[in-house]
Amino acid sequence: MEPRIARSDGASVVPAAIAFEGGRPPDVVAYRVWELPIRIAHWMMFAAITTLCITGYLIGRPLLASPSEAAKEYVHATLRFVHFTAAFVLLTSFFLRLYWGFMGNRFARWSRMFPVTRRRWQGIWDDLVALLLPWRAHKVYTGHAPLANLIYLSAYAGVVVGLVSGFIQYAQSHYSPFWRWIASTGLSLFGNNLNVINLVHHQTLWFFVVYVIAHVYMVTYTLVVSRTAEVDTMISGRKFIYREDLSPYDE
């Protein structure tokens, strides 16, 4: 049997030999963190949200001029079709992430994401201090940091708001019993005011623009200060961590 590096908290650690592959220093430990469904859901969400933001902006403020008669080109109709398709992809990936939050390993569980313990709030505070004071050591976690979990929860909330407000508008032009029920029920949630729904849906676009910029910055920041490649982790599922960088608040 291959030797395994033991952890008292029960984290899933890959065989010790893997931690030394590719000239990695001996104090680097590899953890199996993100399962395949989580990685699929993550990249599906990334592609869908990026597509929705671009097409949503162009639908609201058209920048493209038709090279010929508009009725022959269907530029705007094509944008709407791509937008609607991306919305269904986002819905599918969100349901996958929702389901795996109950069925996956401990890193994927919803119970791990909410700051319901003093230990997690302390971890959030330490993350904020490390961001504001660059000379402070930045600790890493086997899964997401408590602050990252809080930020991801806000992203999932944004996904819910965007999907609900978007599908209510989508339902206005569909007349099957299901979509009519979505339209009438959804309108009642927003005071029967379609303009409010349109405004809320538009604001989710700018929420995700800010979120994506912040997310890319944080991934780059983590790579630089903690020597942990989050993009590689979300592709391979494995996370390589220097022992000395591991946070004392890791669960």
Q: What is the pLDDT of residues 17-75, one digit of tens each?
A: 344 445 555 567 778 888 999 999 999 999 999 999 999 999 888 776 666 666 666 78
Give a yes or no: residue 240 inside a domain.
no
Question: What's the pLDDT tens digit per position in 179-202?
Answer: 999 999 988 988 889 999 999 999
pLDDT digits (tens, 9 = 90+) for 231-251: 778 888 888 777 766 666 566
Distances (CA, A) of 116 to 113, 130, 139: 9, 21, 20
Report residue 12's pLDDT band, with 50, 70 and 90 as the boundaries: very low
Domain contains 209: yes
Q: Which of 48, 7, 55 is nearest to 31 (CA)?
A: 7
Residue 122 lies in a domain: yes
Judge whether 56 lies within some domain: yes
| Nearest alpha carbon to residue 235 among 51, 11, 22, 36 | 36
3 state SS of 206: helix
CA angle 72, 78, 79 (to 5 degrees): 135
The DSSP code for 45 is H
pLDDT number for residue 16? 35
Whole-number pLDDT of residue 145: 84
Residue 197 is assigned to a structural domain of this protein: yes
For residue 212, being part of any structural domain is answered with yes
Mean pLDDT of 139-168: 90
Give this prediction's pTM: 0.81
Total domain count for the chain? 1
Alpha-helical (H) ranges within 67-145 are 70-73, 75-103, 110-113, 118-132
pLDDT of residue 65: 67
Residue 216 lies in a domain: yes
Amino acid of residue 79 = L
Tell whether 82 is covered by a domain: yes
Query: What is the CATH number for 180?
Result: 1.20.950.20
Cα angle 180, 92, 96; round to 5: 130
Its domain, for residue 81, covers 38-134+144-227
Beta bridge partners of 4: 15
